[in-house]
Amino acid sequence: MKLWRLLLIPALVLLLGALALGLLHDPKRIPSPLIGKPLPTMTGETLDGRPVDLATAGQGGPMLINVWASWCESCAVEHPVVVEASRRFGDRVAFIGLNYRDERAPGQAWLDQRGNAYRWSFYDPEGRAGLELGIYGVPETFFVAPDGTLLAKHVGPLDAATLRDYLSRLFGVS
Amino acid sequence: MRGLWWVLVVLWLPCAWAETVSEDPRQRQVLEIAEQLRCAVCQNQSVAESQAELALDMRRTIAEQLAAGRSEAEIIAYFRDRYGDFVLMRPPAHGSGAPLWWAPLGLLALAGAGAFFYLRRRIGREGDA
């Protein structure tokens, strides 16, 4: 009658498996339920006061939305990477900024000082567009297909290799 | 008797200067919904408890949506559509939350079955002796 022992082994394996799954899970990697869905319509103003809709900013082409703020330390680290990618691929991919919980003057000064990677930046002082996109913080980057479907989301600063990988894999530009 | 009367008057007097407490019923409703939502950037804190900017934004959005006549379920669905099941303080009993609810029951059943066979074997052995 070793049946109870036979039961013990799968139980232990199951428990260890669940533990391993929990330990290997990267707490920063949170899947967005918006992926695979069309970007919601978000009307508002650009940093310099023009009326825009974030959802159609790609104008029928692929689009990258980079969430940034002048108060965000890691955005300053990431920004040169975005500027460089925009210089190389900006004609094929619409680089759009989302100025998150910031003010116009420091935001504009930040861009003047560090280079403007974006066709324009959506001005979101109250974090409304941020909630609409389900963002946790800055920086975050969204990759949007020409038809407006959200393809991927990257949380945290991008490095050059990661950004190039996203652009070639999702949009076929390199 | 007169002395007691004066004591009572003096004791009650401060009440005359007391401010009436008013509570906005909508604020209570906002917090009831916020308690069910996880502050996504905090460690195990609800949107009702957190002072993080994201939680402030979420509470404001809850208030605005209540004012626009949306129901509690609609508002929770709004956040769930954008942040996923992760945003719910109480994980759902189906889908991604299912193991949390059913795994303990499974473990209990397994332990029970183990105990049953173990005890039956012992009883059997004692019967032989």
Token digits of residue A136: 């946790």
Q: What is the pLDDT of residue A100?
A: 96
pLDDT at B68 over 60: yes
Q: Could you give the CA distance from residue A151 to residue A37 in angstroms, rounded to a whole number?
A: 8
Interval A119-167: pLDDT, tens? 999 999 999 999 999 998 899 999 999 999 999 999 999 999 999 999 9
Residue A169 has pLDDT above 60, yes or no: yes
With a cut of 80, say whether residue A1 has pLDDT above it: no
What are the pLDDT digits (tens) for A88-126? 999 999 999 999 999 999 999 999 999 999 999 999 999
Tokens at A22, concatenated: 């929990």
- Within 67-86 of B, beta carbons closer than 8 Å to A belong to 80-84, 86
A141 φ/ψ angles, rounded to the nearest 5 degrees:
-135, 130
Provide the 10 A C-beta neighbour count for residue A86. Answer: 21
Among B47, B87, B110, the strongest candidate for a mutation testing the A interface, having the largest count of A CBs within 10 A, is B110
CA distance, residue A133 to nearest chain B CA (Å): 6
Residue B50 zone, left/alpha/beta (φ > 0; ψ -120 to 50; rest): beta
What the block records as the tokens of B119 is 């005890």
**Distance separating alpha carbons of residues A67 and A117, to the nearest angstrom:** 12
Give the model's pLDDT for residue B86.
85
- Of the pLDDT bands very low, low, confident and very high (cuts 50, 70, 90), residue A172 is very high
**In this complex, do B57 and A126 lie within 8 Å of one another by their Cβ atoms?**
yes
Residues 33-62 of B with CB under 8 A from A: 40-41, 53-54, 57-58, 60-61
Cβ separation A136–B54 shorter than 8 A: yes
Say whether B126 sits in a helix, a strand or coil.
helix
Query: How many CB atoms are closer than 10 A to CB B39?
Result: 22
Work out the number of other CB atoms within 10 angstroms of the CB of residue A160. Answer: 13
Is the pLDDT at B129 greater than 60? The verdict is no
Question: In this predicted structure, what is the pLDDT of residue A27?
Answer: 60
List the single residue in A with minimal CA-CA distance to B58.
A131
Nearest Cα of chain A lies from the Cα of B107 at a distance, in angstroms, of: 8
What are the strands of the beta sheet with A63-68, ordered from one edge?
Answer: A51-53, A43-46, A120-124, A94-100, A63-68, A140-144, A150-155
pLDDT of residue B96: 74
**pLDDT tens readout for residues B6-48:** 998 888 888 888 877 777 888 899 999 999 999 888 888 999 9
* pLDDT on residue A119: 96
pLDDT, chain B, mean? 87
Which band of pLDDT confidence, cut at 50, 70 and 90, is reported for residue B92? confident
Q: Which of B47, B75, B117, B118 to mutate to test the interface with A (most CBs of A within 10 A)?
A: B117
Please say if the pLDDT value at position B99 is more than 90. Answer: no
Assess whether pLDDT exceeds 90 at residue A174.
no
Residue A83 pLDDT > 90: yes
Structural tokens at position A93: 């991919």
The pLDDT assigned to A9 comes to: 84
Kindly report, residue by residue over A13-67, the tens digit of the pLDDT.
Answer: 988 998 888 888 766 566 788 999 999 889 999 999 999 999 889 899 999 999 9
For residue A30, the model assigns a pLDDT of 64
Task: Find residue B46's DSSP bridge partners.
Answer: B38
Residues in chain A: 174
**Where does A56-138 have alpha helices with state H?**
73-89, 104-114, 128-132
Is A68 in a helix, a strand, or coil?
A: strand
pLDDT surpassing 80 at residue A3: no
Contacting residues of B for A137, CB less than 8 Å apart: 41, 54
Q: What is the pLDDT of residue A123?
A: 97
